[in-house]
């Protein structure tokens, strides 16, 4: 009979195993390097092999073991191959960081947004997160010791939108529902599910914010950003809690960004 891994078993056993999607850049790269540095074995998933190799090379020697896997999370067959590769290489799965995502075309009013662009954002941000969570659930439920953790990358936009961001905002709101439902359904199997909502981490995706971002009043104004390493450390903290404890929702943001009172 499968049992849930206890704190003592976690500390005494082999290195823990994580899957990080969107690991080729930005938050995904920072989190993957943080986990590798801490000794985790990490499957680095993304659509382009070259950035994944760069992420693996960015981790210091003597840390955990990286495994690069080319995968488009919107494709069920790629997701199945990703988690199969993790099972074959490491034998179990302790963490999924559901990070892969896209903002889509920026600054496009809702009435002008092409359906193809809407569908691309939904397929990546929501369908991809579901497919990866489903695959992780299956493995965590059946492995011995049973259990694991899923952390979904939400966003400040899971709470409050930016102007002209309907596709991104809709998917990030949906991720909150996905997180809650997975958290409830995972309880009998020792699967803890939480969400980190991130605001203005300094990555390629947010590079333009420091020069000017459209505000709700129609003005364009620069916004402060924070070091992406602070996000990575927060994810690691969430990941390394014993399965008896869970950070259900965490918000990590640049202190002075326009969020509280946005609009």
Residue spans per domain, the chain: 17-253
* CATH T-level topology, domain 17-253: Rossmann fold (3.40.50)
pLDDT digits (tens, 9 = 90+) for 140-161: 999 999 999 999 999 988 888 8
The catalytic position among 115, 168, 189, 259 is 168
Task: Report H helices in the chain.
Answer: 7-12, 26-37, 49-58, 76-90, 115-121, 128-142, 166-186, 228-239
- The pTM of this model reads 0.90
Helix (H, G, I), strand (E, B) or coil at 46: strand
pLDDT digits (tens, 9 = 90+) for 70-122: 999 999 999 999 999 999 999 999 999 999 999 888 789 999 999 999 999 99
**pLDDT tens readout for residues 204-239:** 766 677 678 877 777 888 788 889 999 999 999 999
CB 150 within 8 A of CB 195: no
Residue 168 appears among annotated catalytic residues: yes
């Amino acid at each position: 009979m499968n049992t849930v891994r206890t704190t003592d078993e976690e500390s005494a056993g082999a290195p823990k195993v994580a899957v990080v999607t969107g690991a080729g850049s930005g938050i995904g790269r920072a989190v993957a390097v943080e986990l590798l540095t801490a000794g985790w074995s990490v499957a680095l998933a993304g659509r382009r092999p070259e950035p994944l190799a760069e992420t693996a090379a960015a981790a210091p020697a003597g840390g955990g073991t990286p495994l690069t896997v080319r995968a488009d999370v919107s494709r069920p067959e790629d997701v199945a191959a990703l988690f199969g590769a993790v099972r074959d290489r490491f034998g179990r799965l302790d963490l999924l960081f559901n990070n892969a995502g896209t903002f889509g075309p920026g600054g496009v009013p809702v009435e002008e947004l092409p359906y193809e662009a809407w569908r691309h954002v939904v397929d990546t941000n929501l369908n991809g997160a579901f497919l990866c969570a489903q695959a992780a659930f299956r493995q965590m439920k059946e492995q011995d010791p049973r259990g694991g953790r899923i952390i979904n990358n939400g966003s400040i936009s899971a709470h409050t939108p930016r102007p002209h961001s309907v596709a991104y905002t809709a998917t990030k709101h949906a991720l909150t529902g996905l997180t809650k439902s997975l958290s409830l359904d995972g309880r009998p199997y020792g699967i803890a599910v939480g969400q980190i909502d991130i605001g203005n981490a300094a990555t390629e995706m947010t590079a333009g914010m420091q020069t000017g971002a459209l505000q709700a009043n129609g003005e364009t104004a620069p916004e402060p950003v924070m070091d992406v390493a602070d996000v990575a450390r927060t994810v690691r903290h969430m990941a390394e809690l014993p399965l008896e404890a869970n950070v259900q929702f965490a918000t990590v943001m640049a202190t002075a960004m326009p969020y509280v009172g946005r609009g």
